[in-house]
């Protein structure tokens, strides 16, 4: 039978430290880190049977090399999208072979459904 697991779970609790202690006592979770979020809030990362320890390696296969820089732990989607776009762009630059045509301006036209025209212009480099 196949084995299934969650990559990670976010739990919100009035007392995250107490909740973490419960998971440590009841399920053998290991505390990875804890930090003060300000305003009396805390964040606790737990490792439940090694699942979280695989997250960083898995994310590297998606060009996400630093979970903190990418905002993964904070659910900071704006940072994540921006950093991921930079990583993908850098990877694509490694794979694109520069051609002479890239140095010349190019123009494309498209007729819209309501008889208006769209002109796309890429200026030469």
Answer whether 17's CB lies under 8 Å from 37's CB.
Answer: no
Residue 2 above 60 pLDDT? no
Q: What's the pLDDT at 112?
A: 66
pTM: 0.39
Site of tokens 């430290």? 17
Q: Which long-range contacts (CB under 8 A, 24 or more apart) does 31-35 make?
A: none
Residue 33: pLDDT above 80? Answer: yes
Flag whether pLDDT at 117 surpasses 80: no
| Rounded-to-integer distance, Cα 3 and Cα 60, Å | 23
Domain boundaries, the chain: 1-61
Task: Please list, in sequence order, all residues whose beta carbon lies within 8 angstroms of the beta carbon of residue 78, skipping any fewer than 6 positions away.
Answer: 71
Question: Which band of pLDDT confidence, cut at 50, 70 and 90, is reported for residue 22?
Answer: confident
Instruction: Name the residue among 35, 40, 49 with its Cα closest to residue 7.
Output: 49
- Find the DSSP H helices in 52-125: 55-60, 77-95
Residue 4 pLDDT: 52
Pairing of strands 106-111, 117-122: antiparallel
Residue with the larger pLDDT of the pair 20 and 100: 20
């Amino acid at each position: 039978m196949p084995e299934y697991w969650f990559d990670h779970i976010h739990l919100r609790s009035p007392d995250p430290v107490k909740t973490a202690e419960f998971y440590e006592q009841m399920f053998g979770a290991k505390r990875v880190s804890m930090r003060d979020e300000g305003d009396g809030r805390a964040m606790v990362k737990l490792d439940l049977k090694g699942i979280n320890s695989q997250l960083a390696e898995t994310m590297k296969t998606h060009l996400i090399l630093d979970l903190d820089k990418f905002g993964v732990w904070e659910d900071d989607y704006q940072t994540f999208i921006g950093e991921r776009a930079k990583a993908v762009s850098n990877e694509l630059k490694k794979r694109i072979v520069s051609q002479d045509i890239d140095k010349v301006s190019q123009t494309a036209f498209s007729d819209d459904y309501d008889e208006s025209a769209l002109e796309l212009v890429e200026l030469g480099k």
